[in-house]
């Protein structure tokens, strides 16, 4: 093998340029990253259906949403999230569900995500 070959030199230059142009992805350590959930058990019904919703936020502004009815997954989809001025917006592409805007609140019981109307959407697990 001859290392003065123009092909080898070109390949080395291409690899070096590719490595030099790589940029680091900024670290996202937002406190919303993790698992959030809400569980409801209807009262006064002969059939007690337990409803659980779960949001799993990751560090690249994406997440996974699950809805369980009596421990059976009825909805499983991805979502996107963003943060502007302490308001998180959760959007569900491909799902007929309106975007949700929430804020994070800390209290003696833990941390919650609350709608702008003050209703608890989910609690941190």
What pLDDT shows up at residue 17?
56
Assign residue 31 a region (left: φ > 0; alpha: ψ between -120 and 50; beta: otherwise). alpha
pLDDT of residue 7: 59
Rounded distance between C-alpha atoms, residue 10 and residue 27, angstroms: 34
pLDDT at 119 over 90: yes
Which tokens hold the place of 78?
Answer: 């991805």
- Phi first, then psi, for residue 19 (nearest 5°) are -70, -35
**Each residue of 43-82: pLDDT tens digit?**
765 667 899 999 999 999 999 999 999 889 999 999 999 9
Q: Are 21 and 14 in contact (CB under 8 A)?
A: no
* Tens digit of each residue's pLDDT (9 = 90 or more) over 76-104: 999 999 999 999 999 999 899 999 999 99
Q: Phi, psi at residue 111, to the nearest 5°?
A: -120, 135
Distance (Å, whole) CA 5 – CA 16:
17
pLDDT attached to residue 41? 79
Q: Could you give the 3-state DSSP secondary structure of residue 6? A: helix
Comparing 41 with 122, the larger pLDDT belongs to 122
- 42 pLDDT band, cuts 50/70/90, is confident
In whole angstroms, give the CA distance from residue 75 to residue 37. 14
- Is the confidence at residue 30, as pLDDT, over 90? yes
């Amino acid at each position: 093998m001859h290392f003065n070959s123009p092909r080898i030199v070109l390949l080395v230059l291409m690899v070096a340029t590719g490595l030099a142009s790589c940029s680091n992805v900024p670290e996202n350590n937002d406190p919303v990253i993790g698992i959030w959930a809400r569980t409801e058990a209807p009262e006064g019904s002969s059939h007690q259906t337990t409803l659980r919703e779960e949001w799993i936020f990751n560090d690249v502004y994406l997440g996974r949403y699950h809805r369980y009815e009596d421990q059976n997954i009825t909805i499983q989809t991805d979502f996107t999230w963003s943060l502007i001025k302490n308001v998180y917006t959760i959007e569900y592409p491909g799902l007929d569900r309106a975007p949700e805007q929430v804020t994070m609140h800390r209290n003696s019981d833990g941390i919650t995500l609350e709608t702008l109307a003050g209703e608890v959407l989910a609690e941190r697990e």
